[in-house]
Structures are given as structure tokens and as C-alpha cells.
Structure 1
Amino acid sequence: MIETTTPGYRVTDGLAVLGPDVARVKYAIDAIFQQWATGINAQPWDLPALLTRSQLASFDYFDNFPHLAVAATPTMPADADGSPEELFITSAACYGAYAALTGTSLEEPLSVTVATRCCRNEARYHGLRRLHQFTMRELVALGPADHATAHLMRFKPRVLSLTEHLGLSVQVQHATDPFFDPNGSRALMQRLLPVKEEIVTDDGVAIASFNSHRNFFGNRARISFQGNPVHTSCVAFGLERWVYALDRKFNGDWAATRAAIASFDPTASGE
């Protein structure tokens, strides 16, 4: 058992227990992301954290990162005819949105926001920096290519404005998706033509990412707009990682942390 105990929270084997002071900080930072979503009329969705094997397989999940997959396995068979399809806990919040829209045709470009409890099977866990279960807030865009691109361009300066306001020392880094096999074809494509950027703290923790999927999910999930597969993009926030970065900045003074968050104006564009 690996345990990290800090005033306000405890992490055991990658599972975090946040006390009330820390939970309030987590909810406060997420409230900013939700206000950003409201500002672009993003639809708030509540999606299951469980996806079937076939849903994930349609997204090449088990080809690209089988090492991260966490199965939800029943302890005893249910009283039903036949065997239900195997379920997995999603490792990123946006998968549920693409699965939910499978086989649909959008009447107009769409933006949604979702927060999901995600799981990843990691080789090791490290406090709030790297958890077995964590909360991911995502703002997802679906539509033509310019809609997906504008979505990322809109939020990058806003996130940087927030980190500056909070006094977090960060850098913007191009990245191959850590969920992909580093030797895989998609990781190679990303190195040749970067489609992912991360906001990384000065101690190497990625607290936000900007992801362009082009028309991959549109093709695989058969989601179309004006007769063509949609392009998608998402802005993703690991909420517990923001708590970690703020704990490090404010030395565990959670009241001061909440005050700094409360003094930020989410309506400022950051541009």
C-alpha cells in the first residue's frame, strides 16, 4: 500500500479522499470551467463512466492503449439470459459523448461539457499528480473543422489567464498523447503534425490539454454534419491535478486558495 497523507486529503494506492476544505477548492476551480462552458452555450451532459468493449474497440482503444484499460467486472453473474458485454471505466470524459452520439447527424455545430470519474491503470501512482481514479472536466466541440479549431483557440488564452491569475508557473508544450503507445502510428502522426498541447506546471504536471482529433471520432462513431464526418476537439482539465498545483502554490492554505479562485473573472477572454 502506498499512501500520501497531507492536511486536507489522503491518497492511498491512487485513490484520493478529499476533505471538505479541499473538495471546495476542487468544486470552485471546476465552477470556472463550467462558466466558460455556459459562455459558449455548451450543453451540459451527464454521461456514464462505463462503456462497452465494442464501443471502445470502435475507437481503437485496445490497439492504442490497452495498458490503461480498467474493466468493471461483476463478482457474480446476474439473473439474466445470456452474458452482458464486458464494461470498462472510461479513461477520458469525451469518449462517452462520442459513444452517445454514434450514428447521428448534427443539425448545427455542437459544444458539450461533461465531468466524469475516470480510471487509468498506471505503472505507478503519485499523490494527486497521478491517480488511479480522478475527475476530468471536458469541453468538447463537434462540427466542421473550423468549429473544432476555433474551440481550442478560444480557450487556450483563457486557461493561461487563469494560471497567471493564480500564480502558477506553467509552460505550453506540444505533446504526443500519453494514452497512445509511443511507438504506435498515431503517436508518430502527432510528432509529425502536432494535434495536442498541454499546460504543464514547472514540476512537470499537465493540468490542462487541448486536443484536436480531426475527423477520427466522426468517422468511427458515424457522426456527421452536412453530410461529412464531424471534426472534434476538446479542452480537458484534470481537477485533482489543479488541486495539487494549487496546494503546492499556496502551501496548503485552502482558504487563501479559494479566495484566489473567487477573485478570478471567468468572463475575461484572456486575449
Structure 2
Amino acid sequence: MGLDLTIVAATLTLALLGERLARRHHVHRLLWTSCAHRTNTSYQSRFERLQRFWTPMRSVVRPPNETDVVTFDLSEARNGSLIIEIPPKSGWYTLHHTHTQSDGCSEITTLSGRWFVGSATWATPGPAPPEKPGHWTSMGKLDPNDDAATAKLSGTVASRVLDHLLCSMVQDAEVYFCLCTTPAWIRALYAVTRSAPRLGEMLVRRLLWVQIRATLHVHDFLEDHGTITIFRWINPWSPPSWVHRFEERMRFVKSRAISGFNYWLSRNVLGMSVRYKEYVPIWANDAEQK
């Protein structure tokens, strides 16, 4: 029995060391013949028709020709500005989220099209309700079948750096599966799905979901994952004020718990990071030097 346990332990240790060794560039080239690199987006200011962005509150099993796309224009990001363009037939919208600090919030101005911002609707161009700390909100085109809609977000440079980072991750979603740092078992699993595009798309979306939540965990961006309503039975029609306070507190706790788990998973199992030098915009370096 003792010998069997020793063999099992030795096998697991060798497998772990082998998997770690396979992530090194020269070993990776011997095993996989090619090693991809993340796209250098330092000078990229416009991210056209991004797919798979956020995947909010929907099944991740989506066709590759998904129409829910969005364009992020960061041409004026060095000044804290971002232009969001949602094309016709696209039902893209932001995550329902909040920030804990005012530095993470942005002012919103609709430029064209019909929008929903929080619980309000905006049919004419102009200022919309801004983001506020502790206030949960989202925004998107009012009707996916509408014509194109554009809006401007004005905030801090740090907020735009996060937008640039997320756009770069979405754009490079499939590159992850060909990196030296990606675990061998994930690369092998992705290779198997090449003959089944739908399964491959599901895998890409699943792991991109983890990557994005892990990244949000280290920034002032809390995604709404719901709350715990266990005490609603006390008075479903008019619950005491402490029930509302408890539920709001649990909304924050649940958000941090889910993003925290994804952060741990991405770093310790999936070989991901939440910051890549290839994705740092050149204007961010300029802003830091000022």
C-alpha cells in the first residue's frame, strides 16, 4: 500500500513538473512546433466589431457569426474619453456593474441612436445619467434592431487603460490557446475542438469569461451577480430596512467572491495574467510620466 502511494505521488509530481516545463518557450517549440505571441496593441486606438465581449447573462454557446458586436474607439483615451459604437442588429450592452470610488466612474453622453442607461431611456443626443459609486447600472442600445448608436464616456485615464486592456484580451481571445504559458492540457483540448467549431467557440468564450472577471477583480469594477434573498420571507411585500441593507451588502460580497475565485483560477490553473505589457497603451506611459 505504501509503495502504491509512493508511485502515485511520484507520478503526479512528474506530471506537474512536466506540465510546467512544457510552458517554457524552447520546450514548447519542440512539442507544439509553433508558439504564438500576444498582439502588441500599444499603438492601437480602435477595436473594430469585437465579438464575445462580456457575454452578459446569456449562454456562452453562441454561433461564430454572432451579430452582437461593438466597436471601442480610444483615440482620445489619453484625455479620459471613449467612444462606444454599436452597429445595426447588435444587441451588445455593458455589464450591470458599479464602482466603489469616483475615479472608476464615467460621465455618459449619447451621440446618436436610442439608448438605455440604467433604468432611463435616451432617444435624443445629450448627457445621460452618469455613473456613481455604489450605484448599479448598465447601458446599451434600446432595441437591437435599431440603427447604429454611439455614445461617449468621459472619465479618468485609468478607466480607459482598463477598457484598452479588456478590448485587447477580447481581440486576442483565441491567441491564448497557442501561447507557451497556456497549460498543455488546454492547448490539447482546443486542438481537439478544431473539427467542431461550436465546441471551440464555447471553450474560447468560457475561458475569456474567466480572464475578464479575473481582470475586473484587480480594478474598481464590480459586476452584479445577484444577491441573497433568504430573509425576504419575513415580509415579501414590505421587508424591513435591514433586509435591504443585508441584500445590498451580499450583492457586493458575491461580486467580489466570484471575481476573486476567477482570479485564483486564472493565475493558478489557467496560466493567465491580469496585465500584459503588450496591452499597455503608449499613452498610458505618457500619462504616468507627467
TM-score over 0.5 (shorter chain): no
Q: Which has the higher helix share?
A: 2
TM-score for the superposition, normalised by structure 1? 0.24
Q: Which has the higher strand share?
A: 1
Compare CA radii of gyration and give the structure with the larger one.
2
